[in-house]
Structure 1
């Protein structure tokens, strides 16, 4: 495994302030948040696969809105069938019991057999209904696993991937990717620690896809979505990760980056 299972740091953090500009609708039997540019027709789409707080979390919706302002159609599916983990659950919350469906009304687990179909249906929606030929994806924590699992442009899935503080990614999943992947990592992260980060680097080098790994000091797991914006280092790392998103997708998804060196 190139990242470890999730823990309490996967649902702790700070709620950000803002008003979301997108809309909630449905794709089949699950809900999605979508937002697109107001001043242009987007050429490419970005799929955001969330951490366990889910698609209605204002923090991730604000990130989606910022991506839309930069020219992308953005969609965030509900990966959890209406059963996300509320932010800042008390100590002792059993995230593994949640993952196995303990809190879901029908006992539905949050394992690949239930999450993969949501990701696949969303990709199909983007390609067939909206007509996007190229799709980038961002995965935070829980969602990172599913960016990696579906980063297969050779199979018509995700073309370009970006993950931040990943969890639950298996070595076999990482070795199977065929598209560019960027990783944003925290200095303090018991789920994606130094040895797992180095292991991921070795695998990416061996399989030969374009990759980038950025490491931010002074921050911990979850910083890309749930950072305390009053903390200067956390804010810097979060904002830098967003700018890394833009440059990565401009280079490998849109092919529009202009070097000004």
Structure 2
């Protein structure tokens, strides 16, 4: 595993309830975009949420990274205000499975949204001219988006994911920039995780680590910040991302 940059910026304290946002909402490529951090920063991140959309924990993560990196962070609302309801998790009934499947094939179509991500980046690069280093990170569904935009011709200098979804060995093989991957204990099958890990660790620029006590979603909408262990690993995960992007952007 490649080492992260030792000079990591400090993370502010995480709020466990009634979180008050630091950012505002703007428009890019026809989408509402949560925008946090200095608009004239020299580095920026595109944050891609999980299927549950603008959850307080996910937005707080964007604020944490912005503060730590003194960076602009943009989180587009690809689902246009209609994410998958958290109440559908776990999909343990036929009706829940049907609803989730329809959402993943329609609103959350990877092919359609990867194109939208490209449009957001294109407009953002025009609007925020001072940015010299663009990066991207995604959670679960968003991690798939991030890795697919990190191959040949990418707009980004570095990218990454936490508790990645839809793992595919070829995605890791196609990377052309430094990439950080923070696994939970349950991201896909053990075989897929092993394949993905082994490809990533071939480059010393990549960072890959398993948060073995954490459930899938511990840094996104399914984070339980009232739980001491989840809170600790939530903070460690975002510190991990901040250190990586501080080094590469």
Please give the range of the TM-score, normalised by the shorter of the 2 chains: 0.7 to 0.9
Name the counterpart of 1:148. 147
Taking only aligned residues, the RMSD between alpha carbons, in angstroms, comes to: 2.0
SS in 2 for 1:179: coil
Name the counterpart of 1:57. 55
Name the counterpart of 2:155. 157
Q: In structure 2, do the counterparts of structure 1 residues 111 and 209 end up closer, same or farther at CA, with 3 Å as the change threshold?
A: farther
C-alpha displacement of 1:209: 6.1
- For residues 62-211 of structure 1, what are the structure 2 equivalents within 5 Å? 62-70=60-68, 71-89=70-88, 91-92=92-93, 93-94=96-97, 95-101=100-106, 109-131=107-129, 132-152=131-151, 155-187=153-185, 189=186, 191-206=187-202, 208=203, 210-211=205-206
SS in 2 for 1:220: coil
Aligned length: 225
C-alpha displacement of 1:241: 0.3
SS in 2 for 1:110: coil
**Separation (CA, whole Å) in 2 of partners of 1:125 and 1:100:** 26
Q: In structure 2, do the counterparts of structure 1 residues 112 and 81 end up closer, same or farther at CA, with 3 Å as the change threshold?
A: same
**Separation (CA, whole Å) in 2 of partners of 1:83 and 1:171:** 30
C-alpha displacement of 1:47: 0.7
- Contact kept, 8 Å, 1:144 with 1:169, in 2: the verdict is no
**Separation (CA, whole Å) in 2 of partners of 1:141 and 1:115:** 14
Which ranges of 4 or more aligned residues in structure 1 deviate by more than 3 Å? none
Unaligned runs of 5+ in 1: 1-14, 102-108, 254-261
C-alpha displacement of 1:44: 0.2
SS in 2 for 1:74: strand
Match of 1:222 among 217, 225, 229: 217
Query: Would you say 1:35 and 2:33 are equivalent positions?
Result: no
Residues 97-149 of structure 1: CA distance to partner in whole angstroms, max 9, x if unpaired? 21123xxxxxxx42233201221012112222212231111110000001100
- Contact kept, 8 Å, 1:148 with 1:169, in 2: the verdict is no
**Separation (CA, whole Å) in 2 of partners of 1:24 and 1:217:** 35
Range moving further from structure 2, 56-65 or 242-251: 56-65
Q: Which has the higher contact order (CA 8 A, sep 6+)?
A: 2
TM-score (structure 2 length as normaliser): 0.83
